[in-house]
Structure 1
Amino acid sequence: MQKIAHRGISAQAPENTRAAFEKMVNLGVDWLETDIDMTSDGQLVLIHDSKVDRTSNGNGLVNHNSLLGLQKLDFGQWFGDEFTDERIVTLQWLIDFINAHALNVNFELKTEVKHEQQNFYLMRVHQSLHQLNQTSQVIVSSFDVDLLKKYHELMPKIPIGLLIEGELPNNIIELAKNVGATYIHPDVTYMTEEQVKLLLSHDLQVNVWTVNEAVVAKKLQKWGVHAIFTDFPV
């Protein structure tokens, strides 16, 4: 069972920062997960929340701030003083980092841009991901079924994962087929062995989030889960 570093090594460094990604190299972790959003001036950045409030010393929506404005914020001190002056990470920086260290990645599409801007967002993601070395394994995931489907039409060769929050819907197999998903990414809180068996029987691989307890990880491995997203990948 693969362990995917959730927003980098986020148990030891502020999530989605250079520090969190760089720790992967020394620890020998080769799979990471991160979130792609877009600034007001069309630049792609890595941040989980729609607002910067929780993970920086600023406030406001990511989509309402320019890249220059976001780069002035501190994205590390909230986690610990030793991470003071960590700045927001651009997707371009991470792609160069992935290529330099032969990493694999799960990108989550996450944005609250207006519907008419979604195509531009997806086009920018599409252009960026073309820069990845072909040796890197890539998954693109999202909770937003429509956004994920649009992306899959742009880059059909990259496997996609359908993120599910809460309990699996009864029509999960139909949803997966409709969007073209290779993976289902369910919430660990609600996952059962029977559900894993159902998904696997329909040739869907299962990557579970967010698993931080060793006993739970072992149970999921026995069930046949393909991978877990974890803050503690080592």
Structure 2
Amino acid sequence: MHIIAHRGASAYAPENTFAAFDKARELGADFIELDVQLTKDGKLAVIHDDKVDRTTDGAGFVRQFTMSELEKLDAGSWFGPEFQGEQIPALEDVLQKYHKKMGLLIEIKSSKTQPGIEQAIGKLISRFGVSMNTIVQSFDAGAMMTLHKLYPSIPSAVLIKPRFGMVPRSRLRHIASFAGYVSVKHTMLSSFLIESIHSYDLKAFAWTVNGPKTGRRLESWKIDGLITDYPDYFKKEGKP
């Protein structure tokens, strides 16, 4: 079971910053989950929202800024004064630091408002060399189909919120034709659904799991990965 740090160790440091990513690694996470948005100059910025207002001292849509302009914003002070000066990272810099050192789960937030983001991500990952530990995910199955068509060797995942904890087998079969993972809201998971996902040779991730008791239950159901703000809650035996 992989421990996946949600936006880094976001309970302890400002989300989607190197401070949070380094903390995740320190706490023993296997993967860092992060979000990307396209900038005005076609770069990939690591930030969850389509606007910078919530997590920086700036205002406006990410797509209205160049990457260099985004890097001038303070993305840490909102979380705590000790993080003043933390920057919005470029995905390229994150790959430079962590690629093949730990897993990366990269989420496309909105492909419809950012045409070409699948191509941009695929091209960048390919530059560093495709790895089974660099996975791209989205709620937009169409975006993952596009990525698979353009870059079939890049692993991908589809985020889903199943109604009443059920996913039609036809949907799982469809997802399995272009992706290798399904990422499900943990409150909607059951042992039966995980078993069903596995029956299509898909792996199952659960988000966002912040309770050790929930984590133990999901592990007993053979979940493949837990996405959490607290990676230290789920330390594996043998890890410091």
- Taking structure 1 as the reference length, the TM-score comes to 0.90
SS at match of 2:145: helix
Amino acid at match of 1:231: D
Aligned-partner Cα distance in 2 for 1:54–1:228: 26
Is the Cα–Cα contact under 8 Å of residues 11 and 231 in structure 1 kept in the other structure?
A: yes
From 151, 154, 158, give the equivalent of 1:158. Answer: 154
Identity of aligned residues (%): 35
Aligned-partner Cα distance in 2 for 1:75–1:19: 10
Amino acid at match of 1:132: F
Does 1:147 pair with 2:173? no
Aligned-partner Cα distance in 1 for 2:205–2:6: 12
Match of 2:106 in 1: 107
State the 1:205 CA deviation: 1.2
SS at match of 2:163: coil
When structure 1 is superposed on structure 2, of 68-77 and 7-16 the one drifting more is 68-77
Match of 2:197 in 1: 199
State the 1:30 CA deviation: 3.1
Match of 2:231 in 1: 233
When structure 1 is superposed on structure 2, of 129-138 and 48-57 the one drifting more is 129-138
State the 1:193 CA deviation: 2.1
State the 1:174 CA deviation: 2.6
Match of 2:78 in 1: 78
Aligned-partner Cα distance in 1 for 2:194–2:212: 19
CA RMSD of aligned residues (A): 2.0
State the 1:132 CA deviation: 3.0
- 1:105-154 Cα offsets, whole Å, 9 max, x none, are 1111123564xx523x2222112101335566121110011111101111
Is the Cα–Cα contact under 8 Å of residues 172 and 197 in structure 2 kept in the other structure?
A: no
Change (3 A) 1:177 1:63: farther
- 1:1-39 Cα offsets, whole Å, 9 max, x none, are 211111111111001101111223333333111112101
Amino acid at match of 1:110: K
Is the Cα–Cα contact under 8 Å of residues 40 and 65 in structure 1 kept in the other structure?
A: yes
Change (3 A) 1:152 1:172: farther
Match of 1:178 in 2: 174
State the 1:172 CA deviation: 4.3
Is the Cα–Cα contact under 8 Å of residues 142 and 161 in structure 1 kept in the other structure?
A: yes
State the 1:44 CA deviation: 0.6
Amino acid at match of 1:66: T
Amino acid at match of 1:150: T
Aligned-partner Cα distance in 2 for 1:3–1:118: 31
Match of 1:189 in 2: 187
Aligned-partner Cα distance in 1 for 2:181–2:131: 20
Match of 2:133 in 1: 137
For structure 1, the residue ranges without an aligned partner over 5 or more in a row are none
State the 1:66 CA deviation: 2.0
When structure 1 is superposed on structure 2, of 194-203 and 169-178 the one drifting more is 169-178
Aligned-partner Cα distance in 1 for 2:211–2:115: 36
Is the Cα–Cα contact under 8 Å of residues 34 and 107 in structure 2 kept in the other structure?
A: yes
State the 1:209 CA deviation: 0.4
State the 1:57 CA deviation: 1.5
Is the Cα–Cα contact under 8 Å of residues 33 and 107 in structure 1 kept in the other structure?
A: yes
